Structure 1
Amino acid sequence: MMVRIPGVFLFLLVMTWSFLTGPSVHAGKILVFPVDGSHWVNMNLMIQSLHSRGHEVTVVRTSTSWYVKERSPHYRSITVTLPQANLIEEEDFFLNFLVKMLEIKRHGASPVVFVKFYWEMLTALSKIHKDGSLLVEEIFENRTLLQSMQDAQFDVVLLDPGVPVGVLVANKLKLPMVFNVKWITSGEGHFVAAPSPTSYVPTSGYTVTDKMTFLERVKNNLFYVFNTWIDKLIVCSHYDRLMDKYFGPDVKFYHLLQGADIWLMRVDFVFEFPRPTMPNIFYIGGFQCKPSKPLPTELEEFVQSSGEHGFILMSLGTLIKALPSEITSEIAAAFAQLPQKVIWRHAGQRPNNLGNNTLLVKWMPQNDLLGHPKIKAFVAHGGNNGIYESIYHGVPIISIPLMFDQFENALRLEVRGAAKLVDVAKLTRQNFLEAVREVLNDPSYRNNMKRLSALHRDQPMHPLDTAVFWTEFVMRHKGAAHLRTESYKMPWYSYHSVDVLCFLLAALITLTAAVVGSIRFICLRLYRRRKLKHE
């Protein structure tokens, strides 16, 4: 007699069997070196997921950290006290930087003023990495702390190489490394992890698409050379000093950096331009995205009061709490002319011209608001977290890039027809209002973002699950050396086959000379014979 198994029971049976027979990993120990600010938001999600899998997570932080708290239910912490706060942990550092940059862009600047500003920026960059090198020294010189790290018998080091403190510690402890990465010391991580032809791969800091004109390719190469030298002279000098002190002259800092077992790239090619990759690079762009949850009662009531017009969301991320008042007043005046309601994450002085349709909040559940059915558009600075959450939920963007890679992010969405770019230095209530209305009224923006959302969601595994799997993969196998190329150890002339080209050119010249010489010799012999016959 045939027994029929109910569908739900069969599903549970299959899932239970898959769980029991799938790849397993012991409850391991993970040492984490994060970067503060918005980078920590990403890293903390990975930590929570790893903790939920039973792993013991230890986070190294400084005593002046913004967001990395000393106590958490998901990790234990090691707090290191430095002589002074890291520059990126100073509250007004990024705001002061933005104000100076806006002043130059708005009113122009003499070459002297521009050079002074750029020098201040490079000095700040140098100090950030100098402070990072001091953190390494504090760990290495504290024998008790270093010994406790060795005794803990960690399985892997998970780190953000934007400030690559953990690279040196991992190698000191002889532990495999997993990078949670988009940026490294010299810019975008692919440039040291994979071949990156500058003919169609835009260099960090140069806002251009992958379809470049000849002049743009010239500029792209100049940017690449400039970034390389800035990294070598301004950034790596601090870590090279530590290499000589703790590892010896034969070990190169960049070799340690490039020797990571797994690169978890916070990238999705739905958003990025196509480029070469490597077998130990896995893509987790949008791993922080998730379905929205119900809003708090007050926010839900405000959103529902928008009626058929819906609402607009505005947030400028974690680094800049508020724009200068003259800019926020123009934005507020533009919002006041819209029929939509506006929820604006704003922590600074209350803007002038604020309309009754605009709600200012110091914090908001951004993901839940972006996933609400009444959302119409997102006004954002173009940071990676907001970009991917918008793509996930299919919400078009009015982008106001402020600094760093935000200009490149805005361009990538604009060329895909999913965003409208507004220059913050030239922002007025009129041009901002026109940009918002264009995104609201032209259905192509929403349709294009919905298409990107469908592509982004159509994956065999959620990006966060991908990140956890490959972290555990390294723990199971004590590394992933079989996926990692060591081409970075080759001399530059071997890597680019300059020596091969020189050899082939020399061989060709030699062969050509031999052929020409032989022909000449034969011709001379024939000439002499004929001459003798005539005589």
Structure 2
Amino acid sequence: MHAVPLYQGKMTPFSKNKVSASLWITIVICFVSLCDGGKVLVVPLEGSHWVNMEVLVKALHGRGHNVDVIRTYNSWFVKENSTYYSSITIPNTKGMDEEFVGDMLNKVIDYERGKSNWLSAVWLYLDTIHVIYKSNEMMCQLLTNIFESEEILKTLKEKQYDLVLTDPVWGAGILLAHKLKLPMVYNVRWSATGEGHSDIAPSPLSYIPITGSRNTDKMNFFQRVKNVYFYFLMHILYTHFNMPQYQALCDKYFDPPVSFYELLQGADIWLMRVDFVFEFPRPTMPNIIYVGGFHCKPAKTLPRDLEVFMQSSGEHGVVIMSLGSFVSVLPDDLTAEIAAAFARLPQKVIWRYTGKRPSTLGNNTLLVDWLPQNDLLGHPKTKVFIAHGGTNGLQEALYHGIPVIGIPLFFDQYDNLVRLQVRGGAKIVTLTTLDKYTLHTAIQEVISEPSYRLSMQRLSHLHRDTPVKPLDSALFWIEFVMRHKGAAHLRSESYKLPWYSYYSVDVAVTLFAVVLIITLSIFLAVRYLCVKCCSRKRKTE
């Protein structure tokens, strides 16, 4: 950790002390060099989740902290060797790979394009359950291999970490933090049981849309019915297929017994990867810290070849297309439609795509294996961003004020795009309707209609108008937990309550019983008096 200077009194002027500025600088550098940083154990997720986790890891390393990262032997994104973290590879543990994700992606694309039969929605839901179940099963195997290895556990304990930083979509970091008795910080939007807010903050279904419902926070009666329907679908998925796997590990390895859901809810700080410029307003908690867009930064100079291409677009500008970390190849007929739409544009196009070159590709389109997305979005020639709707890309577009055309593929992407669309900064083109005509029309509309860019620029100004940068806020709270060995004073105890106590069902039942007893007692007393009075009257007569 960075030490606090020993002397905090009033600084004596250099001229009075006759001490040169260079000597003071030397003293400060020597003092800081004697201070040890904290030790952080990171248990990440793959794909785009690692992309933003890596930003935190680099920043922590830059502030002098030692960072270790847990990985599987075949990790897709987390590299074994790095200059800013040390990896801990768990042997005999397989994780997600390109083939695992690609199979699910193909099924989603077929469903969205209407190429499946009438039972496709049911089968897609079952396939989604299977994919989520298998990915969590891999993490449970990773945990089992750690807990069953005395050598690995001994090594982790001897490291004397200050905290665990994890993404709670997978529960590995949660159980490992409990095993090592360490405070825990989340880099979070989703958890093993759904959307992060819903785990610890009140989330009324009347105005908080459930992922998959494609609702906004303004719902009519039928949309609220749909919202409840999707809530139960998600509830069944997570409570019957995700949590039991982790609870089985809790029952096997922890004594005294502990509830996995309580462990999940018990994180000290939730670094939420959204802000209320992007997210719909909703109830929150004091240990939820909003760091949406923490990975965004001012654009840097582009490589020379890309800069030349950008400048060659003239007054028409450039269209940028990328479908995220997982998606770099699409079906041939779909890419042909997309390429044909681009070929009709007066704009130049930079398209991240690694598949077979489409036969309809125009001279105005540049295919690249990788692109500096943040820097391209911050370039003055960029007119529109075509994206799949991942949180990282949308936050970068929002940061730079670039309107978006969304082509959602799976999970939360449609719902993310809805949040920008209702604010006037995006237009959604579904795979069902996507062809060269609809895509070309959408691009022309977004570029020619000023309201899209003006809306995104307004959102960008709102997003940037904060007293503390999101990354600085994230780092402060991570170090806060290190300094104070947790943040228990910010955690609500509500998650320890059983459901009947949380909703005061027991109080309501008790009060109802008391009122019922009193009412019944009064009724019986009156009835008794009436009977007595009637009996005396008969005797008198």
- Report what 2:380 is aligned to: 373
Cα deviation code 1:334-357 (max 9, x no counterpart): 111111111111111111211111
C-alpha distance in 2 between matches for 1:486 and 1:526: 56
C-alpha distance in 1 between matches for 2:129 and 2:59: 37
* 2:454 pairs with 1:447: yes
User: By how many angstroms is 1:519 displaced?
Assistant: 4.0
* CA-atom RMSD in angstroms: 2.1
C-alpha distance in 2 between matches for 1:131 and 1:307: 50
User: By how many angstroms is 1:505 displaced?
Assistant: 1.3
SS in 1 for 2:212: coil
C-alpha distance in 1 between matches for 2:298 and 2:112: 39
Map 1:353-372 → 2, pairs under 5 A: 353-372=360-379
Map 1:316-395 → 2, pairs under 5 A: 316-395=323-402
User: By how many angstroms is 1:164 displaced?
Assistant: 1.6
Cα deviation code 1:204-229 (max 9, x no counterpart): 22210111122222222222222122
Q: TM-score under structure 2 normalisation?
A: 0.91
- Report what 2:82 is aligned to: 72
* 2:44 pairs with 1:44: no
**The one of 186, 191, 194 aligned to 1:187:** 194
Which segments of 5 or more consecutive residues in structure 1 lack a partner in the other structure? 6-11
* 2:220 pairs with 1:210: no
Whether the aligned pair in 2 keeps the contact of 1:94 and 1:320 (CA below 8 Å) is no
C-alpha distance in 1 between matches for 2:123 and 2:50: 31
- Report what 1:220 is aligned to: 227
Map 1:216-255 → 2, pairs under 5 A: 216-248=223-255, 250-255=257-262
C-alpha distance in 2 between matches for 1:203 and 1:82: 37
Cα deviation code 1:404-426 (max 9, x no counterpart): 10010111111111000001122
**The one of 274, 286, 303 aligned to 1:296:** 303
C-alpha distance in 2 between matches for 1:399 and 1:219: 23
User: By how many angstroms is 1:63 displaced?
Assistant: 1.2
Higher mean C-alpha deviation, range 206-215 or range 290-299? 206-215
Partner amino acid for 1:258? Q
C-alpha distance in 2 between matches for 1:292 and 1:105: 35
C-alpha distance in 2 between matches for 1:118 and 1:498: 33
- Report what 1:9 is aligned to: none
- Report what 1:309 is aligned to: 316
Identity of aligned residues (%): 53
Map 1:498-513 → 2, pairs under 5 A: 498-513=505-520
Cα deviation code 1:370-412 (max 9, x no counterpart): 1111111101111111100000000000100111100101111
Whether the aligned pair in 1 keeps the contact of 2:70 and 2:87 (CA below 8 Å) is yes
* 2:421 pairs with 1:411: no
Higher mean C-alpha deviation, range 265-274 or range 225-234? 225-234
Whether the aligned pair in 2 keeps the contact of 1:264 and 1:281 (CA below 8 Å) is yes
SS in 2 for 1:427: coil
User: By how many angstroms is 1:99 displaced?
Assistant: 2.1
Partner amino acid for 2:445? E
* 2:109 pairs with 1:102: yes
Whether the aligned pair in 2 keeps the contact of 1:243 and 1:249 (CA below 8 Å) is no
**The one of 65, 71, 76 aligned to 1:55:** 65
Map 1:158-169 → 2, pairs under 5 A: 158-169=165-176
Map 1:166-181 → 2, pairs under 5 A: 166-181=173-188
C-alpha distance in 2 between matches for 1:423 and 1:215: 22
Q: TM-score under structure 1 normalisation?
A: 0.92
Partner amino acid for 1:216? Q
* 2:165 pairs with 1:155: no
* 2:503 pairs with 1:493: no
SS in 2 for 1:308: coil
Whether the aligned pair in 2 keeps the contact of 1:102 and 1:425 (CA below 8 Å) is no
Higher mean C-alpha deviation, range 412-421 or range 250-259? 250-259
Partner amino acid for 2:92? L
Cα deviation code 1:273-313 (max 9, x no counterpart): 11111111101110001000111111111111111111111
- Report what 1:272 is aligned to: 279
Cα 1:111–1:506, aligned 2, differ >3 Å: closer, same or farther? farther
C-alpha distance in 2 between matches for 1:229 and 1:145: 35
Cα 1:320–1:136, aligned 2, differ >3 Å: closer, same or farther? same
* 2:411 pairs with 1:401: no
Partner amino acid for 2:233? F
Whether the aligned pair in 1 keeps the contact of 2:108 and 2:409 (CA below 8 Å) is no
**The one of 97, 100, 118 aligned to 1:93:** 100
Partner amino acid for 1:339? P
SS in 2 for 1:50: helix
- Report what 1:30 is aligned to: 40
User: By how many angstroms is 1:81 displaced?
Assistant: 2.0
**The one of 286, 289, 312 aligned to 2:293:** 286
Whether the aligned pair in 1 keeps the contact of 2:113 and 2:431 (CA below 8 Å) is no
Whether the aligned pair in 2 keeps the contact of 1:289 and 1:392 (CA below 8 Å) is yes
Which segments of 5 or more consecutive residues in structure 2 lack a partner in the other structure? 1-12, 15-20, 30-34
Whether the aligned pair in 1 keeps the contact of 2:114 and 2:432 (CA below 8 Å) is no
Q: For this pair of structures, how many residues does the alignment match?
A: 513
